[in-house]
Structure 1
Amino acid sequence: MKITLLNPNTSRAMTAKIAAAAREVAGPDVEIAAVCPLDGPAAIESHLDEAFAAVAVIELIRRDQLEGGSDAYVIACFGDPGLDAARELVDVPVIGIAEAAMHVAAISGRSFGIVTTLSRTLGRAQDLLHRYGFDRTCVAAYGSGIPVLDLEDVSGPAFDALAGWCERVVREDGADVVVLGCAGMADLCDRLADRVGVPVVDGVAAAVGLASGMARMRVGTSKRDEYAPPPRETVGV
């Protein structure tokens, strides 16, 4: 089985980190391929960045399809950019890490809180909570103030600051579970869970688990109506 992780920013260091986190939870028969675009934003931290990210997701899937395709795709960005368009392109599972993390967190506890990067991304997180039906399950969402690229090496004061936000969402807001709101936090999950004392969910690991499970179940993307192939080929994308 081959699962391709689509990192829509251009950071190769973060792509490698995401791939390593995915391989820790993938089964022995699962090949993890992680790709990122050559051009575009180095980090997805605004609506403009996300527009570029959605195009990158589409281009990366099309490139992979020309090379034989994959059994599932994971969009490794917490805004889940390009998710619906990607599902139009293939009949295999396509999973966004925010979608996966929220579902796993809702199974792990009665409530969860989100700790992400910059506060300006919280609006997108709220949009996704509404879309996925977790408005009432999520008790709080906080921006840590840590930029995405600073997550490439989190230690010392930066880790303590992130852990402090996780502790706050548990202690003050009563969350049973913490959801990490950035793919760049994937390698911090176990350390934060030990510090906070509740389950901490990384969307990359959650999405890989769901994607591999769906592929084994032979449950892909429905082509009945909305996610049917686009009626026209889009030139230049």
Structure 2
Amino acid sequence: MKILVLNPNTTASMTETIGVAARAAAGPGTTVVARTSSMGPVSIEGYYDEAFAVPGVITAAVEAEAQGFAALIVACFDDTGVEAARCRVAIPVIGICEAALLAASPLAKRIAVVTTLGRAIVPMTELVHRYGFAERVKVYAADIPVLALEDPASDARARIEAEITRALDGGAEAICLGCAGMADLADRLQETFGVPVIDGVSAAVTVAEGLARLGRRTSKRGTYAPAIPKPYVGQLAAFAPG
């Protein structure tokens, strides 16, 4: 099977990090293709960036289905555009936040998400609540820009480790890394802290593989039914449904 992993920002070096983690998690017979979004911000840091990343996610979803991919993974912990893409295509569309929480759930009762900037705490907390984990998950931020994860000279890892320590001191029993750009840190952090550390990219690959092997596709009844046909105007005309 083929799985497309989309980096919904436009930083190609981050796509490479994501692709390495995704391929390492894939089972025999699975081909993982990592792709950078064709449009949008260089990093997604808050509601405004997220809004302008969604058209790129929709474009990638349509291409993935047309090109025969078994599933699409959206590699941003905001699960950017995931719900909209599910309305557009039938192949499974997996968000890495949802996948990480599902993977952590059987391993620990109290889970911490450690993300980048403080402005992400409220959006991710809202997302966690929407997925039904309000009583089990708390979101922490290491106060580092997303692109600092790509800079070897930054103190990003030390800040992440400090925030994990704070989360564990607060009662967390497992950690979800709240940014796709942290995908290469999971194993080392798990070894350092001795608790499960979940990278959402790797978790999403296993979810995507399982759904593909089961032959399950996105329900088109109700919530994820195709959008009602209508014209869109201006620069969004190409995204009009129907």
Pairwise TM-score range, normalised by the shorter structure: over 0.9
RMSD of aligned Cα (Å): 1.5
User: What residue is the counterpart of 1:97 in the other structure?
Assistant: 96
User: What residue is the counterpart of 1:194 in the other structure?
Assistant: 191
User: What residue is the counterpart of 2:175 in the other structure?
Assistant: 178
Greater shift, 26-35 or 57-66, is seen at 57-66
Deviation at 1:153, TM superposition (A): 4.2
Q: Which amino acid aligns with 2:79?
A: D
Alignment of 1:150-161 (within 5 A): 150-154=148-152, 157-161=155-159
Hey, what's the Cα distance between the residues in 2 that align with 1:13 and 1:41? 14
Q: Deviations over 1:135-191 (max 9, x none)?
A: 0011x3211011111112457843222111112111x21111001000000000011
Are the counterparts in 1 of residues 114 and 164 from structure 2 also a CA contact under 8 Å?
Answer: yes
SS in 2 for 1:108: coil
Deviation at 1:231, TM superposition (A): 2.5
SS in 2 for 1:74: strand
Deviation at 1:132, TM superposition (A): 0.2
Q: Which amino acid aligns with 2:120?
A: T
Alignment of 1:56-95 (within 5 A): 56-66=56-66, 68-95=67-94
Instruction: Identify if the C-alpha distance between structure 1 residues 38 and 222 changes in structure 2 by more than 3 Å, giving closer, same or farther.
Output: closer
Hey, what's the Cα distance between the residues in 2 that align with 1:79 and 1:11? 16
User: What residue is the counterpart of 1:227 in the other structure?
Assistant: 224
Are the counterparts in 2 of residues 9 and 42 from structure 1 also a CA contact under 8 Å?
Answer: yes
Hey, what's the Cα distance between the residues in 2 that align with 1:154 and 1:200? 21
Alignment of 1:159-174 (within 5 A): 159-170=157-168, 172-174=169-171
Are the counterparts in 1 of residues 148 and 154 from structure 2 also a CA contact under 8 Å?
Answer: no
User: What residue is the counterpart of 1:236 in the other structure?
Assistant: 238
Q: Which amino acid aligns with 1:111?
A: R
1:127 corresponds to 2:126: yes
Are the counterparts in 1 of residues 46 and 123 from structure 2 also a CA contact under 8 Å?
Answer: no
Are the counterparts in 2 of residues 36 and 60 from structure 1 also a CA contact under 8 Å?
Answer: no
Are the counterparts in 2 of residues 97 and 206 from structure 1 also a CA contact under 8 Å?
Answer: yes
Structure 2 unaligned residues grouped into runs of 5+: none
Instruction: Identify if the C-alpha distance between structure 1 residues 132 and 208 changes in structure 2 by more than 3 Å, giving closer, same or farther.
Output: same
Correspondence for 1:144 among 142, 145, 148? 142
Are the counterparts in 2 of residues 163 and 195 from structure 1 also a CA contact under 8 Å?
Answer: no
Q: Deviations over 1:14-55 (max 9, x none)?
A: 011101100001012111111122332100002110001111
Deviation at 1:219, TM superposition (A): 1.8
Structure 1 unaligned residues grouped into runs of 5+: none
Hey, what's the Cα distance between the residues in 2 that align with 1:141 and 1:127? 10
Hey, what's the Cα distance between the residues in 1 that align with 2:107 and 2:153? 27
Correspondence for 1:213 among 210, 213, 231? 210
Hey, what's the Cα distance between the residues in 2 that align with 1:178 and 1:160? 16
Q: Which amino acid aligns with 1:5?
A: V
Aligned residues: 234
Hey, what's the Cα distance between the residues in 1 that align with 2:153 and 2:29? 33
Greater shift, 140-149 or 205-214, is seen at 140-149
